[in-house]
Amino acid sequence: MFPLVAAYFAWRRKLSVRTAGTLAAAFLLAALVVNLYPFGPRSNTGMLVAMHLPIALWIAVGVAYAGGRWSDGGRRMDFVRFSGELFIYFVLIALGGGVLTGFTMGIFASIGADAAWFVEGWLLPCGAAGAVLVASWLVEAKQSVIENMATMLWTGRGIDVERNVLIAFDLLLALVLGLLLYSISARDSDAPAGGFDWLLVLLLVSALLVDALALAAIAGRISDFGLTPNRVAALGENVLLLVNLAWSAWLYGRFLRGRGSFRALLAWQTGYLPVYAAWAAIVVVLFPPLFRFG
């Protein structure tokens, strides 16, 4: 899906031959890495690569979206806004497609035909790829239709050190960061601080506490059971989240006290995006040989 989206924006933005060639080389290198590494059938690093490669390649899509001007902070923030709206449109398309797919399978079942092989093998993968392109076009055609569509459910349950719980908390932290990025991208940078800003700071502080507890749990698992690719990847990701959330809370606090500008927070968030891509690339390229493709 990502090469198709990148090609779409390369065409729309009329990218230079050099920039387009660089992006094509990045996608080609990614394809070579994931296909040539000798992953086992239950390889942990293989699963890590599958989870982190989209993060790294999404930044390549961002370069195409920005028209090759990734160093422009405003263009990076436009890409954050685009990513949030793309996700919303994609979910809406997927929900509608799911309903139609269910009806289709029901109709075939009524005449004794099994369409599951076609739906699972062809319709869903091709439909998902097509939905990304359609959603990208919708965001481009109807920019700023959706401004703030984010809600947060919070519970006070204690942390268990089981791996599945840690994964859930990492997803929660990523969701908090995504809500922050999308919220500040839709906010007027020159508007004064308001009640919603205080709510975001409270959300950041809560996320920091969760991240600190998750880091302590990961450190405990490493101390008890040793290093594994999953634990090292989780440790790195939580450290990156901790740094981003902590400095974001500091910058937001300065803005609320009238000692800093909101633009400083925007610059920090957009400037930090390549850090996630760099870590994802490290996991994709270095982790499999370091951990012997296990």
Q: What is the DSSP string of 95-134?
A: HHHHHHHHHHHHHHHHTT---HHHIIIIIHHHHHHHHHHH
Instruction: Pick the range with the lowest mean pLDDT from 179-183, 248-252, 256-260.
Output: 179-183
pTM (two decimals):
0.62
Residue 165 confidence class, pLDDT cut points 50, 70, 90 = low
Does the structure show a pLDDT above 70 at 98? yes
Does the structure show a pLDDT above 50 at 288? yes
Is 223 or 243 the better-scoring residue by pLDDT?
A: 243
Does the structure show a pLDDT above 90 at 282? yes
Q: What is the CA radius of gyration of the chain?
A: 21
Is 194 or 49 the better-scoring residue by pLDDT?
A: 49
Does the structure show a pLDDT above 60 at 38? yes
What are the sequence ranges of the domains in the chain?
Answer: 2-141, 163-290
Cβ neighbors of 215 (< 8 A, separation 6 or more) are 235, 238, 239, 242
Give the pLDDT confidence score for residue 148 in this predicted structure: 37
Q: How far apart are CA 42 and CA 65, in angstroms?
A: 36
Contact between 63 and 8 (Cβ < 8 Å): no
Q: How many CA atoms, within 13 angstroms, populate the side-chain half-sphere of residue 53?
A: 23
Task: Give me the phi and psi of 74, to 5 degrees please.
Answer: -65, -40
Give the pLDDT confidence score for residue 89 in this predicted structure: 79
- For the chain, how are helix, strand and coil distributed in percent, rounded to 5? 80, 0, 20
Give me 91's structure tokens: 């979910």
Q: How far apart are CA 62 and CA 76, in angstroms?
A: 7
Q: How far apart are CA 220 and CA 275, in angstroms?
A: 26
Burial class (CB in 10 A: 0-12, 13-18, 19+), 97: middle
- Average pLDDT in the 51-55 region? 88
199-229: pLDDT as tens digits: 778 878 888 887 887 888 888 878 878 888 8
Q: How far apart are CA 219 and CA 217, in angstroms?
A: 5
Q: How far apart are CA 171 and CA 178, in angstroms?
A: 10
Contact between 26 and 16 (Cβ < 8 Å): no
